[in-house]
Amino acid sequence: MALDWSAQKVIVTGGSGFLGGYLVAHLRELGAGEIVVPRKAQYDLREPERVQALYADHPNTTMVIHLAATVGGIGANREHPGVFFYDNIMMGTLLMEHARRAGVAKFVALGTICEYPKFTPVPFKEESLWDGYPEETNAPYGIAKKALLVMGQAYRQEYGFNAIHILPTNLYGPKDNFNPRSSHVIPAIIRKMVTAQENGEDVVTLFGDGTPTREFLYVKDAARGIALAAERYDSPEPVNLGSGYEISIRDLAELIADVVGYTGRIEWDTSKPNGQPRRQVDTTRAEREFGFKAQTSFREGLAEVVAWYRANRAIADRESV
């Protein structure tokens, strides 16, 4: 049966963040009855009593979509592996357990592409998730998220709890995090190239050697995919959410330079890590199970991000995580 969004009271953790803002807007378009966006100042999701208070303060919640996470690029993952593991495993564990106790009907856990083994056959199929250890630089984060998949499956088996697990590939879009200490690859490169162009610099230096590949999903497509999964997907098996388009970091940098209009040289700092060698997901399950297919072309999406960054420099360049 089709989900009646008007009858849903949805808690969206991380709803004020990058992806969360787009998801909340999309849920409103779908006519969601009530949307609750907990803020850290009142509900620190790493603290049991605060999670209990969240559910007590919002009785009759029918769905939780858990987006909140401590995230960052390779540098941040290497600097804070303990924080990334603890924060993410505590938030997910407490939210799911207390959702079960509160009688929440559906729990949508957002995982990460970092859950996959370092060397996974491309395209990544969900069946390969347990075939090896994740890439070392982000393994603590990936494993913390992967634990929520196991928890959801265990709770479904023992309690009949309807938890699903979504594996989004790398996201990008307007309002992304451009902080150089914690940003991911697309906003990091855009910021460097726009700044170099403005300052007349003829060289931009990027991490690694440019050979790794990545797949990127436009944030509005991701929000639509998560809502479709929340509405239509009720399986214990994890499901990939992606665009199906693989690109090397070197080609990505050249494409961003073209979109920005930067004509200087790109140099590679091979003393810095590359991260996982290749990433591209098989999107068959998402299309088959709940009809999701990405709609935004990559160049079009990048152009929107560059335009947003140029128009919102004061906001985007803030030194806040």
The number of beta carbons lying within 10 Å of the beta carbon of residue 160 is: 8
CA distance 204 to 192: 7
Amino acid type, 43:
Y
CA distance 317 to 169: 25
The 3-state DSSP class for residue 84 equals: helix
CA distance 153 to 186: 33
Pull the structure tokens for residue 55.
Answer: 């559910």
Cis peptide before 123 (omega within 30 of 0): yes
Residues contacting residue 139 through CB under 8 Å, at least 6 positions apart: 81, 114, 133
Which residues have a catalytic role annotated? 141
CA distance 210 to 224: 31
Is beta strand 163-168 parallel, antiparallel or unpaired with respect to 9-13?
A: unpaired
